Amino acid sequence: MEKKDYQSPVVGQEISCIMKNIDVSFFDDNQKLKQLVIETLNNSKFGILNSVEHEFSPQGFTMMALLSESHFALHTYPEHNAVYFSIYSCRGPKDSEPVFKELKEKLKPKEILFLNDNEIPLV
Amino acid sequence: MEKKDYQSPVVGQEISCIMKNIDVSFFDDNQKLKQLVIETLNNSKFGILNSVEHEFSPQGFTMMALLSESHFALHTYPEHNAVYFSIYSCRGPKDSEPVFKELKEKLKPKEILFLNDNEIPLV
């Protein structure tokens, strides 16, 4: 396909939030948490092109996944029992919702502070 | 420092937007665009722990930087003359603004669609 013929979808969706008051055992094993995220992204057929992660001292874990359809980010704040969650998909409207819903089901936060839940017009 | 003593800042800031109608030459050289971003993050004293990038076929470039202070993401849509920009810093209130402003000065978009410009309470 030539460049001039290519058109990405014209609407994407971003959901960012803080999930609060989850079971504290999720903070004990960052690799297990990462696997939970990857499983969730796979279930929604997102293509993980690459991912990076970092464990902070004395605590806190951050990971980002570069997706064929944009990106995912998660940061933990064990000291506040809080997890920052963000997904942006440019695959179309409402496309980020299944990942948000599935991870919410898994982590069962008692409170969610929404930062952003927007559909994104590119044109 | 022991885990129990550590407290991250309790407020962060996320800015996400679509920058539209920039000089199209920015889409010609993705590595130059990446250097522009890295320079901008460095100017605001963000610590880049790791970064990932991908060039899509036939076009489109995506990069993410994992920061000591959270994360940065950028995706280009040359076919729409649009760039998705997102930065989240957990270093404190208004902390993401200098990067947004500097990159806006550099890219000079004729239009900006804000998706999110929120301060984020973690507690």
Q: What is the CATH number of the domain that holds B39?
A: 3.60.90.10
Domain that holds residue A27: 8-79+91-107
Please give the Cα distance from B28 to B9 (Å, whole number): 39
Kindly state whether residue B107 falls inside one of the protein's structural domains.
yes
Question: What is the block-wise mean pLDDT of chain B (123 residues), using blocks of 10 residues?
Answer: 62 87 96 96 94 93 93 94 92 85 96 77 63
Which of the residues B1, B5, B7, B8 would you substitute to probe the A interface, choosing the one with the greatest number of A C-beta atoms within 10 Å? B8
Q: B60 and A8 in contact by Cβ < 8 A?
A: yes
Give the chain A residue whose CA is nearest to the CA of B82: A122
Does the annotation mark B70 as catalytic? yes
Catalytic residue ranges of A? 70, 75, 90
Evaluate the CA torsion angle A107, A108, A109, A111 in order and state its sign.
positive
pLDDT of residue B48: 95
Kindly state whether residue B90 falls inside one of the protein's structural domains.
yes
* CA distance, residue A43 to nearest chain B CA (Å): 22
ipTM of the modeled complex: 0.83
Of the candidates A84, A41, A44, the one whose C-alpha atom is nearest the C-alpha of residue A65 is A41
Please give the Cα distance from A30 to B27 (Å, whole number): 37
Give the chain B residue whose CA is nearest to the CA of A84: B122
Q: What's the whole-number mean pLDDT along residues A53-78?
A: 93
- Chain A and chain B share a number of CB contacts under 8 A equal to 139
Give the chain A residue whose CA is nearest to the CA of B4: A79
Number of domains composing chain A: 1
Q: A8 and B79 in contact by Cβ < 8 A?
A: yes
Kindly state whether residue B28 falls inside one of the protein's structural domains.
yes
Q: pTM value?
A: 0.87
Does the annotation mark B25 as catalytic? no
Q: B7 and A49 in contact by Cβ < 8 A?
A: no
Q: What one-character DSSP code corresponds to residue A32?
A: H
pLDDT of residue B114: 81
pLDDT score of A23 more than 90: yes
At A101, list the tokens.
């819903």
Kindly state whether residue A16 falls inside one of the protein's structural domains.
yes
Going by C-beta distance under 8 Å and a sequence separation of 6 or more, which residues neighbour residue B101? none
H or E, element range at B71: strand B70-77
Kindly state whether residue A114 falls inside one of the protein's structural domains.
no
Kindly state whether residue B38 falls inside one of the protein's structural domains.
yes
H or E, element range at B102: helix B97-107
pLDDT score of A92 more than 80: no
Q: A88 and B2 in contact by Cβ < 8 A?
A: no
pLDDT of residue B62: 95
Kindly state whether residue A86 falls inside one of the protein's structural domains.
no
How crowded is residue A34: how many other Cβ atoms within 10 Å of its Cβ? 16
pLDDT score of A105 more than 60: yes
Kindly state whether residue B76 falls inside one of the protein's structural domains.
yes
pLDDT of residue A96: 87
Going by C-beta distance under 8 Å and a sequence separation of 6 or more, which residues neighbour residue A4? none
Going by C-beta distance under 8 Å and a sequence separation of 6 or more, which residues neighbour residue A60? A75, A76, A77, A78, A79, B8
